[in-house]
Amino acid sequence: MPPRIAPIPAPIPPNNTDSFLYVHPSEGPNSVTVTPHLTSNNYLAWSRSMRRALGAKNKLAFLDRSFPIPDALDLNRSAWERCNHLVHSWIINSVSESIARTLVFHENTIDAWEDLQERFAKADRIHIVSLRSALH
């Protein structure tokens, strides 16, 4: 008896504007502007702005793992890769140059996002607490 092979999911139609895999023809690596750019001490403000920008583009699935990375044989793989590269570019273009140099080595958006979170979230909270203490 031949081995069972899991069925390959049907592709998400490329013109489905409700799909997180949809890319509008006008979208490119510079089509998302987030201010402030991420520096070493403004992660919380930057991450809120970036999440809002990605939410407006229906791309939050690349940050929250709500849609897993498709297998190599999955018919959605090429669309996922295209969107992953695009969202990764948006993140790289919204951080300081020194931070951007470290992000280009990540293959997936989620890896870059989690790296930034791990590196800067705690330091930013400490910075906020020290600013509040200085005010009182």
Dihedral angle, C-alpha 63, 65, 70, 71, nearest 10 °: 120
Number of domains in the chain: 1
Cβ atoms < 10 Å from Cβ of 106: 17
4 is a domain residue: no
Most distant CA atoms of the chain, gap in Å: 75
Range of the domain at 100: 43-135
The CA–CA distances, whole Å, from 14 to 18, 39, 60 equal 10, 35, 18
pLDDT band at 1; cut points 50, 70, 90: low
Question: pLDDT tens, 96-116?
Answer: 999 999 999 999 999 999 999
- DSSP state, 35? S
Nearest to 75, CA basis, from 4, 23, 13, 24 = 13
Q: What is the mean pLDDT of the chain?
A: 88
Residue 95 bridge partners (DSSP): 38
2 is a domain residue: no
Name residue 96's amino acid.
S
99 is a domain residue: yes
94 is a domain residue: yes
130 is a domain residue: yes
Average pLDDT over residues 79-97: 97
In contact, 113 and 60? CB cutoff 8 Å: no
Give the predicted TM-score (pTM) of the model: 0.82
10 is a domain residue: no
23 is a domain residue: no
Whether the CA torsion 7, 106, 110, 51 is positive or negative: it is negative
61 is a domain residue: yes
- The SS3 of residue 101 is helix
Rounded to the nearest 5 degrees, what angle is found at the Cα of 71, between the Cα atoms of 65 and 73?
A: 150
Most confident of 29-38, 92-101, 126-135: 92-101
